[in-house]
Structure 1
Amino acid sequence: MSRDSEGPQPLPDHVRPYLRELVARTRRICGAELVSVLAVGSLALRDYRPGRSDVDVTVVVEPSVPGAVLRELAEALAHPRLPCPAAGLELVVYDRDFAGRASGRAGYLLDLNTGPLLPGRASFDPACSPAFWYVIDRSVAHQAGLALFGRPAREVIAPPTAADLLAAVQASVREHSEGEGHLADNRVLNGCRSVLFCRTGRWTAKRAAGRAICAAEPGFRPVVEAALAGFERSRAGATGLPATEVRSFLAWVRERVDEAAGAVGS
């Protein structure tokens, strides 16, 4: 993305100009307070789907960054002031001290959601948000984050402890089991990824996780294959899945994740 990037960036062509401009605006606004801009989420895991995926970005700044700078950044990056070519932008800003230590808290300075298919939100208070989203995102960032500017992900994002991370995975599975606000195919594939993480200790792209669970758990193959097929469609074109099969699968996922969390806690 820039002379400050680390190595080649395997990013989709249609999001490259957007990310280039996002980095430029972030550098201009944060100045010397900026430490890193990282592509995370589906971009980092090489599973970005046009019309389906969000652009996920983590920004790390010096602890001294003023609140006024964060508000200016949120305004400058908000869609349509900066038109987002994806379903949405999910951008989280952390200070360097917090990001560099293991934590089970949300801990952000700014959580910005914006885009054509994403309800707009700019939060400056981490107490307003469930922590599990951010704990998992930091784990993915530490494992696979791509530096668009500044220091590499592993130098600035500390991985959560195993106990904190598995507690976050449990919370994520509970959230997706309830289904409110989540597409059925995404709920199933998130479950696949959660189980695979518990088995391997590494984060895998949702589609790869779905294929792995299909191979390992033939009893759930029909619902997972249906989720994989649905995930190929845009959000607007998503179709439902059999509710009973989804509930049965997610109940099984919860049991597997609870077992893994219990083994760490014992």
Structure 2
Amino acid sequence: MTRTLTDPHAVPAELRPYLAELVHRTHTVCGSHLASVIAVGSVALGDYRHGRSDTDVTVIVDRSLPERALPELAAALAHPALPCPAAGLELVVYDEDFAARPSGEAGYLLDLNTGPLLPERVSLDPAQSPAFWYVIDRSVAHQAGRVLYGRPARDVIAEPARAGVLTAIRASVREHSAGEGHLADNRVLNGCRSVEYCRTGRWAAKRRAAEAVAAYEARFRPLLEAALHSYERPARVSAELPAADVRDFLSWVAERVDETVGLSDRI
């Protein structure tokens, strides 16, 4: 197998050699069991920020993949064995039977976090992780995932049920409201993305979501503009945002999400 992506121009130039090598190593470990490698997250939504964004990748394998392949894959892709040029790599492996059906569960075979700005994490047990991260990622993947190898995202990843996505968004907003381990600008922009999904039923890039919310909620405009300005910086030098303003905004986000959940329950 060559180190050529299915569509190199579907990903930012800064990531092309890295993702090509990632696909090559994944195929080397998984062989004929590999169905797809798909870019999700900021790459899929067209908002990758070099020096700030992670690289999010979903891998789909068939159910007969040997269990020993999962730790082998984690070792092959771990930074710095494979130097990650982004802030980090968040890679999730699913078996194709699980990925092909709507689910509100985490459901992964392997969850790998690695890279220069990410704490190293290898999990083979989905019970170790809150499900909402994975439900949202699969929803984004179904809508906008960019195939790096194999079958298209919509062919291998089912759209989670809307009720499950809203439950995941609720949990995400609670996580970002608590604030632990999250940059202030990212908490605000994730809140904007959540509101826009509730309003439109579609995932938007964080910056586009913030611009949309700022256009119709003038009272939050200064905070959103400050968050957008900070998001242009590398993560290490992101700006401090007024804690009370962030808290008030995320409380407003939670109310909008709860309203949407209530409306959905009545339909």
**TM-score by structure 1 length?**
0.98
- Following TM superposition, by how much is the alpha carbon of 1:239 offset from its aligned partner in structure 2, in angstroms? 1.4
Structure 2 counterpart of 1:257? 257
Q: Give unmatched runs, 5+ long, in structure 2.
A: none
- Following TM superposition, by how much is the alpha carbon of 1:34 offset from its aligned partner in structure 2, in angstroms? 0.2
Q: Are 1:136 and 2:106 counterparts?
A: no
Q: For residues 198-246 of structure 1, what are the alpha-carbon distances to aligned partners after superposition, in whole Å with 9 as ceiling and x for unaligned?
A: 0000000000001001101111101111100010000001111001111
Structure 2 counterpart of 1:17? 17
**Aligned pair in 2 of structure 1 residues 104, 249: CA closer, same or farther (>3 Å)?**
same
Structure 2 counterpart of 1:176? 176
- Following TM superposition, by how much is the alpha carbon of 1:67 offset from its aligned partner in structure 2, in angstroms? 1.2
Structure 1 counterpart of 2:154? 154
Q: Are 1:102 and 2:102 counterparts?
A: yes
Q: For residues 166-193 of structure 1, what are the alpha-carbon distances to aligned partners after superposition, in whole Å with 9 as ceiling and x for unaligned?
A: 0000000000001000000000000000
Structure 2 counterpart of 1:197? 197
Q: For residues 52-88 of structure 1, what are the alpha-carbon distances to aligned partners after superposition, in whole Å with 9 as ceiling and x for unaligned?
A: 1000000000011111001100000000000000100
Structure 2 counterpart of 1:121? 121
Task: Please tell me whether the aligned partners of residues 5 and 148 of structure 2 are also in contact (alpha carbons under 8 angstroms).
Answer: yes
The aligned amino acid for 1:39 is A
Identity across matched positions, percent: 66
Task: Please tell me whether the aligned partners of residues 100 and 156 of structure 1 are also in contact (alpha carbons under 8 angstroms).
Answer: yes
Superposed CA RMSD: 1.2
Runs of 4+ with >6 A deviation? 1-4
- Matched residue pairs, number? 265
Structure 1 counterpart of 2:236? 236
Task: Please tell me whether the aligned partners of residues 60 and 99 of structure 2 are also in contact (alpha carbons under 8 angstroms).
Answer: yes
- Distance in 1, matches of 2:100 and 2:148, equals 18
**Aligned pair in 2 of structure 1 residues 96, 104: CA closer, same or farther (>3 Å)?**
same
- Distance in 2, matches of 1:173 and 1:191, equals 7
Map residues 211-250 of structure 1 onto 2, 5 A cutoff: 211-250=211-250
The residue matched to 1:256 in structure 2 has which SS? helix
- Following TM superposition, by how much is the alpha carbon of 1:14 offset from its aligned partner in structure 2, in angstroms? 1.4
Structure 2 counterpart of 1:36? 36
The aligned amino acid for 2:65 is V
The residue matched to 2:236 in structure 1 has which SS? coil
- Following TM superposition, by how much is the alpha carbon of 1:9 offset from its aligned partner in structure 2, in angstroms? 3.0
Q: Give unmatched runs, 5+ long, in structure 1.
A: none
**TM-score by structure 2 length?**
0.97
